[in-house]
Structures are given as C-alpha cells and as structure tokens.
C-alpha cells in the first residue's frame, strides 16, 4: 500500500502557471515519516510548514523573525525528510494562457474549467500507471480545495472508475494540510516546480533557495526520484487535436451532463385540492 499526497502551486489568478504535484510514500513509512516531521515542527517551533510563506518571512507569520540562513536550513531539512521516506515525485505544469487559448469550450467542460483540475487529472494518470506497473494499491490524498474544484476532481475520479474499476473508488480523500505532514512536504516540491516553470517559460528571476530546491528534486536518488512535465503550447495543441471529438471525450461530456442533471433540484409537486 502507498499514499500519494497531492498539492497545487500557482493557482492564484495573478500567476501565469498552474501546477499539480504529488509525492508517493509507502504506507509502512507513514508513521515514521509523520513522527519525524512533527519532531521537526516542534524543534522549529512552528505549527506547519508552508514554502512561500516561509520564504517571504511575513512578519505576521511564525517565520517572521527568521534570517535567510534559517530559512535555507529548514527548506533543506524538509527535502531531507521527504527523500528519506518517499519513493517518487510527480509534477504537471500548465501555462494558463495556453490552456485558455487552445482548449475549446466543450473540451474544458470535459476535462475541467480549472487549470488545476486539468493538471490533477494528468497527475492521477501518472499515479495510476505507477501503481499498475507495480501491482500495488494506492491512496490519493488531496489538499482541501474550493467547493467547485473539489467537485471537478470528484467528477473526474467518478468517470475514471469506468476505465480503472475500483482503483480510485474509496481510495481518495480531501484533508487539511496543517494536519497532514505529507501535504506539507509536497508543498515544497510543488512550489519548487512552479518556480522552475516560471524561470523556463518567462525567465522569471529565482531566489537562490528556489534554485537549490529545484536542483535537489531533480538530482534526488540518482535523478530517478522526480518526473516533472509541462506541455508547450504546441504539445497542448497536439493533445487537443488527438482528444477533440474523440469518443472518450464525448463519453466524458455525456457522463458530466448526467451528473449535472442528477444534481438539479427536482420541481416540487403541486398540492392537490
């Protein structure tokens, strides 16, 4: 049994990229992982770890009085614990402008209106393939999302059950990141990938800690630990050409229409008399 902890980065409206990332931890390691993580939090006198808030050292946060070397050390410790207990990291990135420009309305209805939902759907495919190749069960643990995104994810999983049987059914949950060390650990991986995509796509300058983090994830376990993907506009156009009017896409649309119809409030019966 394995758990994959899934988080996002770049989903704020001002960001040009959206990212979904997941790290896989064997179930037999989770107790040891959680124990070591909580000891780390206690030692640093923080309630939970959040990469962007930590790096910014907002004066209202628990990281407000840290200096840069303290932040650098904590980031390194997060990666050390992550690599010690996890076996794989996946990350999918999408440029929002490309998604808006390339995907027609009917395909957005099929794969999700949210950039993050599209990235999560791709991530679920990677998780499924990884587990299928090893013939092992896997639990999908998501950071809590907004109501609309959560519903899109649940709808995508419900449709996937048609192809993958009970692989997803009963094997996913939405949890509060502050209560789940795995979700705090994947936060830095998602953040580092997001920073790397910003640099590669927009030549955005990176903080040295972001550079160190991304390089560490790329090099981890002889460069076998991470699988990081981001479709170019041309790649997205090719994917759309393959999927548009594809029988499977039409099947997804019909399935989602059925779900929406089932959720519509039924008209109240008029009282006789």
What does the pLDDT read at residue 270? 58
Closest CA to 220 of 43, 91, 68, 123: 91
What does the pLDDT read at residue 267? 64
Backbone angles phi, psi at 50, to 5 degrees: -140, 115
2-263 folds as: Nucleotidyltransferase; domain 5 (3.30.420)
Say how many C-beta atoms besides its own lie within 10 A of residue 96's C-beta.
Answer: 16
Phi-psi region of 182 (alpha: psi -120 to 50; beta: other; left: phi over 0): alpha
The DSSP bridge pattern shows strands 17-26 and 2-9 to be antiparallel
What does the pLDDT read at residue 149? 75
Q: Are residues 45 and 63 in contact, defined by beta-carbon separation less than 8 angstroms?
A: no
Prediction pTM value = 0.87
Residues 6+ apart with CB under 8 A from 255: 158, 159, 162
Grade residue 265 by pLDDT with cuts at 50, 70 and 90. low
What does the pLDDT read at residue 171? 86
Percent of the chain with pLDDT over 70: 86
Rounded to a whole number of angstroms, the distance between the first and last alpha carbons of the chain is 61
- pLDDT, greater one: 249 or 84: 84
Name the range with the highest mean pLDDT among 19-33, 117-131, 148-162, 253-267.
19-33
- pLDDT, greater one: 231 or 86: 86
**Rounded to an integer, what distance in angstroms lies between the CA atom of residue 48 and that of residue 34?**
12
Element (H, E) at 138: strand 138-143
Report whether pLDDT(268) > 70.
no
Kindly state the average pLDDT of the residues 208-234: 94
What does the pLDDT read at residue 247? 74
- pLDDT, greater one: 239 or 273: 239
Question: Edge-to-edge strand order for the sheet containing 172-175?
Answer: 172-175, 138-143, 2-9, 17-26, 88-95, 226-230
Grade residue 254 by pLDDT with cuts at 50, 70 and 90. confident
Residues 6+ apart with CB under 8 A from 217: 79, 89, 189, 192, 193, 225, 226, 228
Residues 6+ apart with CB under 8 A from 38: 181
What does the pLDDT read at residue 221? 95
Grade residue 253 by pLDDT with cuts at 50, 70 and 90. low
Element (H, E) at 153: helix 147-164
**pLDDT tens, residue by residue, 39-85:** 999 999 999 999 999 999 988 899 999 999 999 999 999 999 999 99
**Rounded to an integer, what distance in angstroms lies between the CA atom of residue 140 and that of residue 6?**
7
Given the structure tokens 């999908």, which residue do they identify? Answer: 140
Mean pLDDT of the chain: 87
**59 burial level (CB within 10 Å; 0-12, 13-18, 19+):** exposed
């Amino acid at each position: 049994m394995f758990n994959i902890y899934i988080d996002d980065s770049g989903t704020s409206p001002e960001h040009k990229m959206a990212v979904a990332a997941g790290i896989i931890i064997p179930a037999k390691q989770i107790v040891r992982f959680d124990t070591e993580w909580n000891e780390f939090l206690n030692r640093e006198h923080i309630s939970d770890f959040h990469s962007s808030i930590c790096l910014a050292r907002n004066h209202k946060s628990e990281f407000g009085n840290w200096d840069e070397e303290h932040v650098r050390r904590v980031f390194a410790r997060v990666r050390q614990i992550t690599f010690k207990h996890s076996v794989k990291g996946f990350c999918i990135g999408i440029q929002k402008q490309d998604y808006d420009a390339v995907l027609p309305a009917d395909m957005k209805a099929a794969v999700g209106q949210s950039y993050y939902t599209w990235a999560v759907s791709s991530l679920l495919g990677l998780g499924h393939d990884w587990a299928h190749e090893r013939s092992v069960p896997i639990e999908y643990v998501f950071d809590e999302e907004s109501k609309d995104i959560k519903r899109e994810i649940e709808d995508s999983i419900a449709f996937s059950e048609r192809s993958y049987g009970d692989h997803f059914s009963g094997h996913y949950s939405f949890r509060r990141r502050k209560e789940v060390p795995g979700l705090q650990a994947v936060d830095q991986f998602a953040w580092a990938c997001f920073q790397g995509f910003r640099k590669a796509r927009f030549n955005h300058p990176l903080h040295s800690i972001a550079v160190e983090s991304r390089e560490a994830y790329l090099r981890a376990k002889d460069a076998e630990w991470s699988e990081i993907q981001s479709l170019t506009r041309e790649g997205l156009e090719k994917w759309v050409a393959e999927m548009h009017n594809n029988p499977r896409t039409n099947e997804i649309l019909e399935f989602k229409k059925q779900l929406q119809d089932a959720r519509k409030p039924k008209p109240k019966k008029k009282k006789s008399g």
